Structure 1
Amino acid sequence: MNYNIRGENIEVTPAIREYVEKKISKLARYFTETPNASVNVNLKVYNDKKAKVEVTIPIPQLVLRAEETHNDMYAAIDLITDKLERQIRKYKTKVNRKAREKGRISELFVNNVPEHPEDPVVEEETDLEVVRQKSFDLKPMDSEEAILQMNMLGHNFYVYTNAETNRTNVVYKRKDGRYGLIETQ
């Protein structure tokens, strides 16, 4: 794996770089062969001394991404590694289940990775089950009206038809409190 480690408001020291590489490289044990991937790590320190770590690992069948904020940079790195491991185990379970259904075995993941006793058990498919379905007519409007509608409903996203382009769009509330727009092509 190739590591691209950036720091914002922090100098990436050799100790931090080594710690990040050591922790992230442990994820390779979940794969049959170490993926030739670029590991993008962004380390940030805010004025209130909080550390934020963001990791993105694009590999052929999936993109692993996690972010964590903590008072201690090293603790945030540990927490983010745990998050990425959970993502891999969950995806591995899903892939292996689908492979069994189709009668072929997945070659992407190692089958006998020793699990940590404190690791949560990944449920098979129950958390991906659709439990409710709705249908509704999309009203033509602009993004400002869609944001107002979303806020009135108390939702964190709203699907609508853009009155200018006549295409389906989605507005959503971001974690930072601002709004995002997804436009279809």
Structure 2
Amino acid sequence: MNLELTTRNVELTPTIEKRLRRALEKIGRVLDDAAKVHVILAAEKHRFLTEILVTWRDHQFTGTAETDDLYSSVTEAIDRLLRQTLKQKEKFAARRRATRKLVKTLPAESSAPEVRIVRTPRYSVKPLTPDEAAELLLKSNDHFLVFRNAETDRVAVLYKRTDGHLGLIEP
């Protein structure tokens, strides 16, 4: 983690610097130590201002706090920054989980349901004219009839259409 410290009207003691580095280690663990951190400590009259700017990937995180005590100001700014980084890290993780779920739900080509062939009763295919085949189809409950056309000596299919008429398929 690249750390830059700036102080304004504040003396940077080793204890404050140690406390900052220890607290920023938590953020470094969350952000994989690939972040640039700029800490600004300022004193204005009786108030202490702490501003921590973190740049990670393409994101900017800012934690600011203003209190009467420098130590509590640093702690409060770190807490705010930690909440932001954890929230952003969770968004990245959720996005990754969502894409994994999407990939898992896609069906594999090999898992397609097999098509079964169901045998139906056999009929003797005797030569019929289209008119005779139409009479047989109208008398039965079937939706189609396969027959050998007596006029052309070829196999033909006669079927009931949705408009109530009959259709004839001849190769």
Unaligned runs of 5+ in 2: 102-171
Note the alpha carbon deviations across 1:138-174, whole angstroms, 9 max, x for none: xxxxxxxxxxxxxxxxxxxxxxxxxxxxxxxxxxxxx
With normalisation by structure 1, the TM-score equals 0.50
Q: Which is higher, the Rg of structure 1 or of structure 2?
A: 2
Match for 1:41 among 9, 29, 39?
39
The one-character-per-residue Cα deviations of 1:48-85 (angstroms, maximum 9, x if unpaired) are: x1100000111114222111111111111111111111
Aligned to 1:62: 59
Structure that is richer in helix per residue = 2
Q: Does 1:75 align with 2:72?
A: yes
Shift of 1:7: 0.8
Stretches of 4+ aligned residues off by more than 6 angstroms? none
Bigger mean CA deviation after superposition, 86-95 or 66-75? 86-95
How many residue pairs get aligned? The number is: 101
1:167-182, aligned counterparts within 5 Å? none
Distance in 1, matches of 2:50 and 2:24, equals 12
Which runs of no fewer than 5 residues in structure 1 stay unpaired?
Answer: 105-185
> Letter of the aligned partner of 1:4 in structure 2?
E
* CA root-mean-square deviation: 1.7
Deviation at 1:29, TM superposition (A): 2.4
Q: Percent identity?
A: 24
| In the alignment, structure 1 residue 52 sits paired with structure 2 residue 49 | yes
